[in-house]
Structure 1
Amino acid sequence: MPFGLCNAPGTFQRCMMVIFHDMIKKTMEVFMDEFSVFGNSFQSCLSHLEKMLKRCEYTNLYLNWEKSHFMVKEGIVLGHKISKQGIKVDKAKVDVISKLPHPTTVKECVDAFQTLKRKLTEAPILIAPDGDMPFELMSDASDFAIGEVLGQHR
């Protein structure tokens, strides 16, 4: 699929959902081109991985083996550290934020303070997702940023 098409990410995600529909939430999760295969034992992980790889082969999906990690007890998935303890924010991402330079001029200080006040007082309304309703993934990208929104219509 060519890059740059506005609907390409959503179309790609729908393709992945169709290809792996019987495995999603049971033995694997898929987000765009990131697959996470799981199981409650080493043997079940091997079995689920074999099924996923056969499905990739059957549908002519190619994997980048240099970016693949197998049989790990923890790993970074979509910017979060996943382990048996749960889900944590990737410390490397937090460290980048903590090392940002502080404002150096009065204008930068005032702007930062105003932005902070606005962000704290304009909190979005969050509603728990309904697992029985379909989700919609909306994606966009530019030369300097990528954005994703997962939503539902109510």
Structure 2
Amino acid sequence: MDCMKGFLKNGLKPNFMKLLRIRYHMGIYESTRMSFGIKNAPAHFQRMMYTIFQENILEGWMVVYIDDIIIYSGTYEDNMQYIHRVLIKCTPMNLQISLKRCNFDQQELLALGHKVSGLSLAIDQNRLAAVLQMPVTKKIKEIESFLGFASY
């Protein structure tokens, strides 16, 4: 499940709004919401999601990575019950789920460059092929770029 515009659902405290002001030709823009590009925004959002869903995560049927929610179970009925419980928690927090970006009733999924199933964890073959096809280089910037790509 994918939370839609998750960062923008987080309001900023007035003292943080002042720090994030942008001056431009028509004046000053002051965001009232967390936006992409703020250094600590992903960590803050991850902590918020963990706080909201802590009980579910500790019960062992849910994983949250920033705005992505993965629910897993042994039966279809349990899965439907877990999805219902997640949606109930999303409503008061104004977290909206993007149905277009959701996959339900899957035996395996791609997550963070890995193919995950109930039986195994493997590197996504498309990502592996992309790494293997990258040209060999000795330029520092290109090596740094490769290391960043390969480590993700």
The verdict on a shared fold, with TM-score over 0.5 as the criterion, is yes
TM-score, structure 2 length as denominator? 0.65
Aligned residue runs from structure 1 range 59-74, under 5 A: 59-74=93-108
Report the Cα offset of residue 62 of structure 1. 1.1
Q: State how far apart, in whole Å, the 1-side matches of 2:39 and 2:108 are.
A: 34
- Residue 93 of structure 1: SS of its match in structure 2? helix
- Give the RMSD, CA atoms, in angstroms: 2.7
User: Which has more helix, going by share of residues?
Assistant: 2
Q: Which 5+ residue runs of structure 1 have no aligned equivalent?
A: 120-143, 149-154
Deviations 1:102-123 (A, max 9, x none): 45xxxx4xx79xx8xxx9xxxx
Q: Which runs of 5+ in 2 are unaligned?
A: 1-33
- Give TM-score scaled by structure 1 length: 0.64
Q: How many percent identity over aligned positions?
A: 26
Pairwise CA distance, 1:67: 1.2
2:116 and 2:81 map into 1 onto residues whose CA distance is 21
Does residue 93 in structure 1 map to residue 111 in structure 2?
A: no
Cα distance in 2 between the residues matched to 1:92 and 1:50: 33
**Residue 32 of structure 2 is aligned to residue 7 of structure 1:** no
Question: How far apart, in 2, do the equivalents of 1:32 and 1:78 lie?
Answer: 12
2:54 alignment partner in structure 1: 21
Question: Where does residue 45 of structure 1 map in the other structure?
Answer: 79
Q: Report how many aligned residue pairs link the two structures.
A: 112
Shift of 1:35: 0.7
Runs of 4+ in 1 over 4 A off after TM superposition: none
